[in-house]
Amino acid sequence: MRMTAAALAGLTFVVSAPCAARADPAPELVFALARDTLPAGAIRLTNGNPVKVSDWPALVFAEFETGAGPTASCTGVLVGPRALLTAGHCVTYFMMSTVKPSALQVGRDMLGLTCAPYDLYQGAAGEGDFALCFVAASNPTLSAMEFEVIEDERALAVGQRVWLAGYGCTDLRYDAIHQWTYTRAPHRLNFGADIVDSASSAMAQTRSERGREPMLCKGDSGGALWSTASINDTDLPRRIVGVNSFISAEARPDGDWDIISHMGQTGSAAFASWARKWSAEHGDAVICGITREPGDFPCRA
């Protein structure tokens, strides 16, 4: 199916009876484990390498209604048994800092999420586009899982090799009338290796010349950017070095377009300080790489 789109994006009831009833709003954003969302077995990657969903158990995916067009989607990753990392604009309303009611579905269990955008989040994709979500209840599946590790205070540099990951769509192009065209593929896990083209203390970007190299796609917001990952040997260390934020198009002299993928950098002192503060506010919740060392359960080595 082909689609077009412009560029990205508790109530209390008091009654006269002696008791009062409180109703939590139904979740508008529901993440699910990749293993519950994607087909079992090997998944074909954008760079041609197969992986198994079981090798990436902490990846999560969400589809939701925007009220202004087709169903949207976001990606995320569990970095502890009670901590989910995603993009700020995934868990807030458009151009606002108000947080959506959210949940994480694990099998038949619907676990409430309390999400908090980064302190410097401005209500849209770009600098500070992070959020951490606290899983409201423990769960046997999560208690037995190993979680992905955030690179602590080591920023990306130009020329560094990274892996992009997401589920959102395929065949992304920017056409002659300045519209994005793409094919929705929300149940396909996409990975691809690329090189950091530009980096600041807050953001990093990769460039897909004429859209031919790996790039982010619609629905990949909130997914992790990885370094030192090996698709062929998943027992080797891998680290989260950023969070997918948005894409843009840059005109080429020949009239074609390069697709630029923009990711927020997690390897900064400011991000680590915010994450530690979030952990302390949520009962010292484990954040692998920030409050718990790699290799110390439940964190991957």
User: Which CATH number does the domain housing residue 215 bear?
Assistant: 2.40.10
Which residue is it, tokens 């370094």? 227
Share of the chain above pLDDT 70, in %: 80
Residues 229, 89, single domain; the answer is: no
| Residue 280: per-residue pLDDT | 98
Residue at 256 is within a domain: yes
Residues 176, 248, single domain; the answer is: yes
- What residues make up the domain containing 114? 2-9+25-148+268-281
Q: How far apart are CA 217 and CA 85, in angstroms?
A: 19
Residues 51, 112, single domain; the answer is: yes
Instruction: Please determine, for residue 1, whether its predicted confidence score (pLDDT) is greater than 50.
Output: no
Task: Tell me the residue type at 224.
Answer: A
What pLDDT digit, counting tens, does each position of 279-296 carry? 999 999 999 999 999 999
What pLDDT digit, counting tens, does each position of 238-255 carry? 999 999 999 999 999 998
Residues 272, 193, single domain; the answer is: no
Residues 30, 119, single domain; the answer is: yes
What's 35's domain CATH number? 2.40.10.10
Q: Name the residue with higher pLDDT: 287 or 237.
A: 287
Residue at 32 is within a domain: yes
| Residue 267: per-residue pLDDT | 93
Residues 228, 91, single domain; the answer is: no
Nearest alpha carbon to residue 90 among 109, 64, 68, 111: 64
Residues 255, 193, single domain; the answer is: yes
